[in-house]
Amino acid sequence: MANIHPTALVDPAAELDSTVSIGPYSIVGPDVKIGPGTSVGPHCVIEGHTTIGSDNRIFQFVSLGAINQDKKYQGEPCELVIGDRNTVREFSTYHIGTVQGGGVTRLGDDNWMMAYTHLAHDCVVGNHTIFANNAQIAGHVVVGDWVILGAYTCVHQFVRIGAHGMTAMGSVLLADQPPFVMSEGHPAGARSMNFEGLRRRGFSAERIGAVKAMHKALYREGRTLDDAREQIAGLVQRFPEGAGDVQMMLDFLAATTSQRGIVR
């Protein structure tokens, strides 16, 4: 049997691994599944079609799987899916998806989610991200691996944030942010690339050189986006070790809509 506090209300239909712990006064609904080693603190509400993986630590007063804040929602069985080894701090709110957006809100693995973070419907967050206090992302936002959102960052709906990016405290992101970019401001503008973060993650000098060259093509030479993409594509010959990083940037830019554009 899971370690459930006597004051917690856990629906008999919920599927909890025997190693799960549920704190005082928490509520777990009938369509919830929680994997091994996950702990849920006091006064949490986990409802809806919510699946939580293993070894997550969910702190007090967290709300997971509530109905999304979308007027189009008509009670369809949409989902919230949370991976493994995430830390979710106090007063965070993560909602289920909508049928219009694919039906699933998803949080990956090894993410560090500080207090008051919000994942709206149909968001997809990758792995190893950090959301500082009060970082908020609107519906349909996609966040790549290793992204760091500074405290009070707000992200507009449908915006994409590429892997290894970072925002400063209080940033308001209204356009797509390519991989590796650091942005800040209201609205946010690109300021540099996350070079220190890349060094800490073991990027070689050649890979960082490729990122510097991509930054120059995108932001320092006055090029159009199409011209920048052409320049970036040619970097594979100069930086063969960074070929994967170059391709990731090209793939991201190819998927950027002309309506939203990228941070400048």
- So which residues are the catalytic ones? 121-122, 139
The residue whose two tokens read 């519906």 is 139
Query: For residue 24, is the peptide bond before it cis, meaning its omega torsion is within 30 degrees of 0?
Result: no
Distance CA 64, CA 264 (A): 35
- Asked if 129 and 143 count as a contact pair (C-beta separation under 8 A), the reply is yes
Q: Which two tokens stand for residue 221?
A: 């030479």
- Cβ atoms 49, 77 nearer than 8 A: yes
d(CA 36, CA 16): 8
The tokens for 159 are 């915006």
Long-range contacts of 15-18 (CB under 8 A, 24+ apart): 17/54
Six token digits for residue 228: 């920048």
C-alpha triplet 219, 208, 141: angle, nearest 5°: 60
Q: Please provide the DSSP assignment of 173-187 as one string.
A: E-SBB-TTEEEEETT
Rounded to whole angstroms, the Cα distance separating 238 from 34 reads 48
- Rounded-to-integer distance, Cα 69 and Cα 102, Å: 15
- Name beta bridge partners: 63: 45, 93
> What's at 55, amino acid-wise?
D
